[in-house]
Structure 1
Amino acid sequence: MGVPQFDFRTPPGEAALCAPDSISWRVFKNPIALAVGGVAAVLLEFADPRVRDGVWHHSTFPTDPLARMRRTGMAAMATIYGAQSRAAALIADVGRMHARVAGTTSEGSPYKALDRELLDWVQATATFGFTLGYATFCADLSTADIDRAFAEARAPGRLYGAIGAPHDLAGFTAMKDRLLPGFRPSPIVFEFLDIMDRVKALPAPLRPLQRAAVRGGIAILPPDVRAVLELGPEWDLTPGQRRALRWAGRAAEMVVIPGSPAAQAAQRLGLPRGTAWKAA
């Protein structure tokens, strides 16, 4: 299955699910935030065996990770920047695919991808990962900004079925603490990290930073989740890697990418194409 085509420039004037002055528009334009945050989000999801096995055994990630990441990335961009009608249609397609995902974990627990708790957790991990990745390596965000990002994610989250997703960072922490007793380590986590070290996930100019971005994702995990996943100090960022990520993340805040979803969405709304960058 290829990456779906999505035109962020049409229909002219149609609003997105998130406003141009939102934290979400700021965060999702930055490739370092997406790279770091994506790793963190997947690790948080994989801590729960129900999500872990649902993804690993019902998707092409183990065999074609790059295509899987591109499809997921396109869905995320459509959710933030796409016209509401087109984003809703794409999200509905995702829901139909998820409706077929069910099974039993290797630990013996049944799961369904459309389980409300799992949908809420996946939504929460995405908001946490991308927002904390941005705040750590790209630009300063206050606690109020981070809470605002969680609040902004609730409207698109409901379209995915995540009707009970946390609306702030405290809510994320409470949900994580409630699920923590069910989290488990797994060899799949290390298979995922090995793939992320090897696959050409970042744009060519940023590819030398990919290994650092993987470890940056680990660095922003809540310590108790990192401990459960058995990601010890050998997975720490080196000081040089941390400096490189921060330099690249902050540099990306100043470079408007004309053909990016953020720029095209601004064009659709009659705004300057650098709107998402000017908000930073």
Structure 2
Amino acid sequence: MRLMRRHGPLLLWMPLQRRVEAIAGAYFAAPDGAGIDFSAPSGEPALTAPDSVSWQVFKNPLALFAGGVAAVLLELAEPRVRTGVWHATSFRDDPARRLRSTGLAAMVTVYGPRSAAERMIAAINRRHAVIQGVTPGGIRFSADQQELLDWVHATACHGFLEAFHAYVRPLDAAQRDRFYAEGRASALLYGAVGAPASQHQCASMMQSMRSMLEPSPIIFAFLGIMQNAPLLPGPLRMVQGMLIRAAVELLPAWVRERLGLDRRWRLRPWERRLLQRAGADADRLLLRNCPPALACRRMGLPDDYLYRQAGQANWP
């Protein structure tokens, strides 16, 4: 892979750049064809500001993939969430479509104009309102229970933040707390009024859920799907299994032990170094037709605004 410029945004050799732009643009296109224009209306803010930690974290594709898988693992460890996700959604039948929808929802929440984000979240809330059931252990639940909404929001924050911290670049305590605080705007719209607003609060919530988290064959079924489904473009498929193991490593050690995720699910040292190099390069790879750059354009900022910040030690 040929990369242009050693400092600031990275650009690929032009034919390869166009190919990567096309793949990324297709990934973030709405599966139903409805689409969201991240570049308009001009000047409309998102739920978080361009100089936020969130706008930096969510622009990195490696952190999104590994962090998203880690979040789902934590969700599936909770029996009520697991039952709802596994039996009331399309994940088992069409994992690629489901992951694209989830990725697009994350992009709209972070980079979309606020009005579009509010409409999307309201639609998701309506779908959640009709999902209810009973776990195999006999626990009744509904998908819009506040405790479950809080947990799902916390797992997403934990997954994406820890993936960026581990495989892209370290974040200090203030940046980590700021990331959680920035998530409060979307959390409240989702009804997750008890979602953590700091690193400490997230760690406390993890401990409070300790007695609820449990192993399940569904977790290993999910990992099998993630390893074998064609989720990444052909040239990148060889690292898919590596990214799954990278996601497992983001879970707290006691969670991995409780779920039975032994050393077979750990990265080798050279794999970790490879992913860290790839994550750092991906963090500066400018994709002009993807939500981060389009959102910058909507806000009157240069397309490479976030990617220039990525090369600065004092962001944000």
Q: TM-score, normalised by structure 2?
A: 0.86
1:172 has 2:211 as partner: no
Q: Counterpart of 2:76?
A: 46
Alignment partners' CA distance in 1, 2:203 and 2:257? 16
Q: Counterpart of 2:98?
A: 68
The Cα shift of 1:69 comes to: 0.6
**Aligned-partner SS, 1:120:** helix
Alignment partners' CA distance in 2, 1:204 and 1:261? 23
Q: Counterpart of 2:126?
A: 96
Q: Counterpart of 1:81?
A: 111
1:243 has 2:273 as partner: yes
**Aligned-partner SS, 2:209:** helix
Select 2:151's aligned residue among 117, 121, 126: 121
Q: Counterpart of 2:31?
A: 2
Q: TM-score, normalised by structure 1?
A: 0.97
Alignment partners' CA distance in 2, 1:174 and 1:204? 40
Select 2:261's aligned residue among 228, 231, 245: 231
Q: Counterpart of 1:55?
A: 85
Alignment partners' CA distance in 1, 2:179 and 2:155? 12
Alignment partners' CA distance in 2, 1:208 and 1:272? 34
Q: Counterpart of 1:186?
A: 216
**Aligned-partner SS, 2:89:** coil
* Identical aligned residues as a percent: 46
Q: Counterpart of 2:296?
A: 266
Q: Counterpart of 2:314?
A: none
Aligned amino acid, residue 271 of structure 2:
Q
Alignment partners' CA distance in 1, 2:118 and 2:58? 18
Q: Counterpart of 1:210?
A: 240
Q: Which runs of 4+ in 1 moved over 6 A?
A: none
Alignment partners' CA distance in 1, 2:235 and 2:60? 14
Unmatched 5+ residue regions in structure 2?
1-29, 311-316
Name the CA shift for 1:240/1:62 in 2 (closer, same or farther; >3 Å): same
Contact preservation (8 Å) 1:35, 1:202? no
1:162 has 2:192 as partner: yes
**Aligned-partner SS, 1:191:** helix
The Cα shift of 1:48 comes to: 0.5
Aligned amino acid, residue 31 of structure 2:
G
Q: Report the number of matched residues.
A: 280
Alignment partners' CA distance in 1, 2:308 and 2:72? 29
The Cα shift of 1:2 comes to: 3.5
Alignment partners' CA distance in 1, 2:192 and 2:294? 27
Alignment partners' CA distance in 2, 1:205 and 1:244? 16
Alignment partners' CA distance in 1, 2:308 and 2:158? 23
Aligned amino acid, residue 114 of structure 1:
D
Contact preservation (8 Å) 1:45, 1:122? yes
Name the CA shift for 1:251/1:11 in 2 (closer, same or farther; >3 Å): same
Unmatched 5+ residue regions in structure 1?
none
Alignment partners' CA distance in 1, 2:243 and 2:49? 28
1:222-243 CA-to-partner distances (Å, cap 9, x unmatched) read: 1111111110111111122212
Alignment partners' CA distance in 2, 1:119 and 1:167? 14
The Cα shift of 1:204 comes to: 4.5
Select 2:173's aligned residue among 143, 156, 175: 143
Aligned amino acid, residue 54 of structure 1:
G
Name the CA shift for 1:205/1:131 in 2 (closer, same or farther; >3 Å): farther
Aligned amino acid, residue 36 of structure 2:
F
Alignment partners' CA distance in 2, 1:197 and 1:228? 21
Aligned amino acid, residue 72 of structure 2:
V
Aligned amino acid, residue 144 of structure 1:
A
The Cα shift of 1:65 comes to: 0.5
The Cα shift of 1:23 comes to: 0.7
Aligned amino acid, residue 41 of structure 2:
P
